[in-house]
């Protein structure tokens, strides 16, 4: 009999998520913790982030070096290479950064066109995630982006020259978008040969500008069935082009291009969340904690010592909550999850009768203790997770 694997912890990866909250322009669909950049002096926030990284170390004595660092936002591509050096140096001094660790920087196309890309690479960045969102002018205008289709295409080409490990984000299921339009757009994107593409259906959140526009009847979201048709077309086109889905929304040309940082989330690893509003999950002495930093930059800067000096700002997670989160995240990647990790936490077996039904419907695969969604099942990921976790 094989030994039951650990349910969670740094053996599934250890990373740092660094949140830079400032943006040149706030998009109408965005519900992240972001603020207008204006002419803000970044020095105080930079120092607070570096302090936060270092103060995490004493409370996590058993954690080794970082497998991945992800600079997200917001728009961290507004940072200069010397400022990124400062952040990465603090992370390295606190925990160490493994040789060959994945260091990702999220970037807007306009920043990619004017940034010192070789300087970013010299600073330690080895993976660029470019928020292209679309190659179509009408779509970019609708999404409130500050770049046009020419900048989108030029930024991909420029990024690929310096960062072979480049990922691009695209948003689809936009109101009125047709299958033919989406197919042509995907074919245009594929011409650049990017090794990783993240494709997200447009989600309209209540508190965003889009959410208010929906309330006023100015925007009508796409019907679920039409979104499903676009999703299936996406899988077909990218699969045929050699970028199969390795997770519900993510496609990669080969395993080495799969996002290591995101896999820490999906597989139940540990990560520290640093920067305004950043979330983290950390395991210490068999207990798992959830953390969330102060959202407003001024409050974060003022309180970083209090936030990071103890576990008072972190929430102790209970086994059933951890089990549900593990199941929801663990079913997202194509390899699925070992059900025993969930069952040992929840204290009960997953409902085999429901698993049998999902397998018979072609939505789930079962291989010993491991369960995974099929391509068809990914369309029903949330519903299947809810049924198994009930």
CA angle 55, 80, 39 (to 5 degrees): 95
Instruction: Please answer whether residues 80 and 20 qualify as being in contact, where contact means their C-beta atoms are separated by less than 8 angstroms.
Output: no
Unique residue bearing structure tokens 């369960």: 371
Any idea what the CATH number is for the domain that residue 133 is in? 3.20.20.70
The pLDDT value given to residue 306: 62
Would you give per-residue pLDDT tens digits along the chain (390 residues)? 568 899 999 999 999 999 999 999 999 999 999 999 988 889 999 999 999 999 889 888 889 999 999 999 999 999 999 999 999 999 999 999 999 999 999 999 999 999 999 999 999 999 999 999 999 999 999 999 999 999 999 999 999 999 999 999 999 999 999 999 999 999 999 999 999 999 999 999 988 999 999 999 999 999 999 999 999 999 999 999 999 999 999 999 999 999 999 999 999 999 999 999 999 999 999 999 999 999 999 999 988 866 544 444 578 999 999 999 999 999 999 999 999 999 999 999 999 999 999 999 999 999 999 999 999 999 999 999 999 998
Last residue of a domain, one of 220, 246, 265: 265
Q: Report yes or no on 46 lying in a domain.
A: yes
Number of folded domains that form the chain: 2
Last residue of a domain, one of 247, 265, 283: 265
The pLDDT tens digits for 248-268 are 999 999 999 999 999 999 999
74 and 218 in a single domain? The answer is yes
The pLDDT value given to residue 4: 84
| Domain span at 42 | 10-265
Q: Report yes or no on 129 lying in a domain.
A: yes
Any idea what the CATH number is for the domain that residue 365 is in? 1.10.10.920
Number of other residues whose CB lies within 10 A of the CB of residue 73: 24
249 and 324 in a single domain? The answer is no
The pLDDT value given to residue 304: 85
238 and 328 in a single domain? The answer is no
129 and 249 in a single domain? The answer is yes
186 and 68 in a single domain? The answer is yes
Q: Report yes or no on 306 lying in a domain.
A: no
211 and 324 in a single domain? The answer is no
Q: Report yes or no on 329 lying in a domain.
A: yes
The pLDDT value given to residue 309: 46
Last residue of a domain, one of 246, 265, 284: 265
Q: Report yes or no on 34 lying in a domain.
A: yes
The pLDDT value given to residue 307: 57
Q: Taking the model in full, what pTM does it have? A: 0.96
């Amino acid at each position: 009999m094989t030994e039951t694997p650990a349910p969670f912890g740094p053996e599934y990866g250890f990373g740092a998520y660094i949140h830079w909250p400032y943006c040149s322009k706030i998009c109408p669909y965005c519900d992240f913790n972001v603020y207008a950049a204006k002419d803000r002096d970044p020095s105080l926030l930079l120092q607070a982030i570096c302090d936060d990284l270092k103060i995490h170390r004493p409370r996590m004595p058993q954690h080794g070096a970082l497998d991945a660092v992800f600079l997200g936002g917001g728009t961290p591509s507004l940072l200069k290479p010397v400022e990124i050096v400062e952040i990465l140096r603090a992370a390295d001094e606190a925990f160490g950064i493994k040789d060959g660790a994945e260091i990702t920087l999220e970037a807007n196309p306009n920043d990619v066109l004017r940034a010192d890309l070789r300087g970013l690479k010299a600073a330690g960045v080895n993976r660029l995630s470019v928020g292209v969102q679309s190659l179509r002018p009408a779509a970019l205008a609708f999404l409130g982006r500050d770049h046009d289709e020419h900048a989108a295409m030029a930024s991909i080409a420029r990024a690929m020259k310096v960062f072979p490990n480049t990922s691009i984000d695209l948003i689809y299921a936009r109101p009125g978008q047709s299958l033919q339009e989406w197919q042509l757009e995907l074919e245009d994107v594929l011409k650049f040969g990017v090794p990783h593409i993240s494709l997200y259906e447009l989600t309209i959140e209540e508190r965003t500008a889009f959410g208010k526009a929906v309330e006023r009847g100015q925007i009508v979201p796409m019907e679920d069935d039409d979104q499903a048709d676009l999703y299936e077309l996406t899988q077909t086109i990218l699969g045929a082009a050699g970028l199969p889905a390795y997770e519900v929304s993510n496609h990669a040309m080969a395993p080495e291009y799969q996002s290591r940082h995101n896999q820490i989330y999906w597989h139940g690893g540990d990560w520290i969340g640093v920067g305004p509003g950043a979330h983290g999950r950390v395991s210490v002495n068999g207990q798992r904690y959830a953390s969330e930093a102060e959202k407003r930059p001024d409050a974060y800067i003022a309180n970083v010592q209090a936030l990071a000096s103890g576990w008072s700002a972190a929430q102790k997670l209970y086994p059933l909550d951890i089990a549900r989160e593990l199941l929801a995240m663990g079913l997202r990647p194509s390899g699925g999850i070992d059900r025993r990790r969930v069952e040992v936490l929840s204290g009960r077996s997953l409902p085999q009768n429901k698993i049998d039904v999902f397998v018979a419907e072609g939505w789930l695969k079962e291989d010993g203790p491991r369960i995974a969604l099929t391509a068809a099942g990914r369309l029903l990921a949330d519903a299947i997770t809810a049924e198994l976790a009930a």
